[in-house]
Amino acid sequence: MYVAVKGGEAAIRNAHRLLADRRRGDRSVPALTLEQVMEQLALAVDRVMAEGSLYDPGLAALAIKQARGDMIEAIFLLRAYRTTLPRFGYSRPIDTAKMLVERRVSATFKDLPGGQVLGPTFDYTHRLLDPALAGDEQPEEPEAREPAQDGMPRVSEILAHEGLIEEDGFLSDGEEPADITRTPPEFPLGRDARLQALSRGDEGFLLALGYSTQRGFGRNHPFVGEVRIGEVEIELDVPELDFPVPLGRIRVTECQMVNQFKGSMKVPPQFTRGYGLVFGQSERKAMAMSLCDRALRAEELGEDIVAPAQDEEFVISHSDNVQATGFVEHLKLPHYVDFQAELGLVRQMRSEFEERRQAAANQPERKEAAE
């Protein structure tokens, strides 16, 4: 017999109404504007865009407000929204060497063209809470200085010549880059598909995996060759125009990790590389991504696969926090029928177990009686 259970409509309606009330909070406190979120919680907006895999600061700000600041819920909202839009095409690859740089540091080369530019960083702050920020004190205007005109080539270009550092990654010629939003990933993946998954992957998950390689689970001896943050131009080829159409600029963070490598049967000793590219100002994520990218190249470089961070299927299958939260959180939805069935099964197994135990307890007596 199957009994359909209905109900909860009124409860759901009222729960959503309550949610809207709690989201707004105390009415005597002014409501947040999306401009405030975009301007003053900019790095939260960046994270939602990166893991939502959709560059649109206004929508990310709306998602953060709607989700009451729950980042994964906001990311979920953005992912759901993107499925409602048509795809106009694929951009030309961005050129990070032409970036309007806002920050650029290298941990490997002190004196490189363009120099070490700190930009708006938390580094070297003392991590002391600032009571002044509880009010509305106006900060000083930023210092300005005549910019140097020495350009800022990527660190990888500066070093390529000696051959001691491997080149940028090249896949087989003429192949269209993988697109995991169109074709579900099948293992083993190409590096292009892995990078796409990592770029939208959960920052916390990738950070933990990157950290695990530093602690010895798949150690790969990393140095930050370069981290750069800034705006890059987007261009799109369209059939109606005979030139690549400029669409405007987006902010990205790029990390070039350089890894010491003792060589293997396949590859001579050299520095190998891991790459990170993420929407917005997301240095931690870009660094974690490049550590994971390098760890996942174990097979290509002939290394033993001994640690979780080197296991492609493990990393990529669990890096997407929208998938992860969907599967974990669905457990709280009604499973009444499944659980009833399981309960019946466990009751039966328990009674069989009791019967067997009874039988075992009776056996020695019978043995005695037989003697």
Interface of this chain with another protein, residues 326 to 345, rule: CB under 8 A: none
The closest of 328, 350, 334, 360 to 76, measured between CA atoms, is 328
Contacting another protein (CB under 8 A), which of 136, 137, 240, 368? 240
DSSP bridge pairs for 227: 105, 255
Torsion of Cα atoms, 22 then 24 then 28 then 34, to 10°? 160
Contacting another protein (CB under 8 A), which of 156, 213, 281, 319? 156
Beta strands in 155-310 (DSSP E): 222-236, 245-261, 270-279
Q: Does 247 bind another protein (CB under 8 A)?
A: yes
- Least distance from C-beta 345 to another protein, angstroms? 46
Distances (CA, A) of 164 to 153, 156, 160, 262: 18, 11, 7, 12
- Least distance from C-beta 130 to another protein, angstroms? 19
Neighbours of 169 (CB within 10 A): 15
Q: Per residue in 120-131, is it b (16+ CB within 10 Å) or e — as a string? A: eeeeeeeeeeee
Contacting another protein (CB under 8 A), which of 207, 250, 267, 305? 250
Q: Contacts with another protein in 258-317 (CB under 8 A)?
A: 273, 275, 277-279
Q: Contacts with another protein in 12-31 (CB under 8 A)?
A: none
DSSP 111-137: S-TT--B--S--TT------GGGGTTP
- Least distance from C-beta 235 to another protein, angstroms? 9
Among the residue ranges 28-36, 55-63, 205-213, 343-351, the one whose residues contact another protein (CB under 8 A): 55-63
Among the residue ranges 190-198, 325-333, 344-352, 358-366, the one whose residues contact another protein (CB under 8 A): 190-198
Element (H, E) at 336: helix 336-370
**Residue 182 or 330: which CB sits closer to another protein?**
182
Instruction: Work out whether strand 245-261 and strand 100-105 pair parallel, antiparallel, or are unpaired.
Output: unpaired
Q: Which residues contact 108 (CB under 8 A, 6 or more apart)?
A: 155, 223, 224, 225, 226, 258
Among the residue ranges 130-138, 244-252, 319-327, 345-353, the one whose residues contact another protein (CB under 8 A): 244-252
Q: Does 242 bind another protein (CB under 8 A)?
A: yes
Q: Contacts with another protein in 194-223 (CB under 8 A)?
A: 195-196, 199-200
Q: Contacts with another protein in 104-133 (CB under 8 A)?
A: 110-111, 115-120
Note every long-range contact of 362-366, with CB atoms under 8 Å and residues 24 or more positions apart, other chains counting: none
- Least distance from C-beta 234 to another protein, angstroms? 6
Among the residue ranges 23-31, 33-41, 125-133, 248-256, the one whose residues contact another protein (CB under 8 A): 248-256
DSSP bridge pairs for 259: 222, 272
Q: Does 50 bind another protein (CB under 8 A)?
A: yes
Contacting another protein (CB under 8 A), which of 241, 265, 333, 361? 241
**Residue 25 or 246: which CB sits closer to another protein?**
246
Contacting another protein (CB under 8 A), which of 100, 328, 346, 359? 100
Among the residue ranges 14-22, 47-55, 126-134, 216-224, the one whose residues contact another protein (CB under 8 A): 47-55
- Least distance from C-beta 124 to another protein, angstroms? 11
In the block, tokens 């599967």 appear at 327
Q: Contacts with another protein in 59-98 (CB under 8 A)?
A: 59, 82, 85-94, 96-97
The closest of 220, 225, 245, 226 to 235, measured between CA atoms, is 245
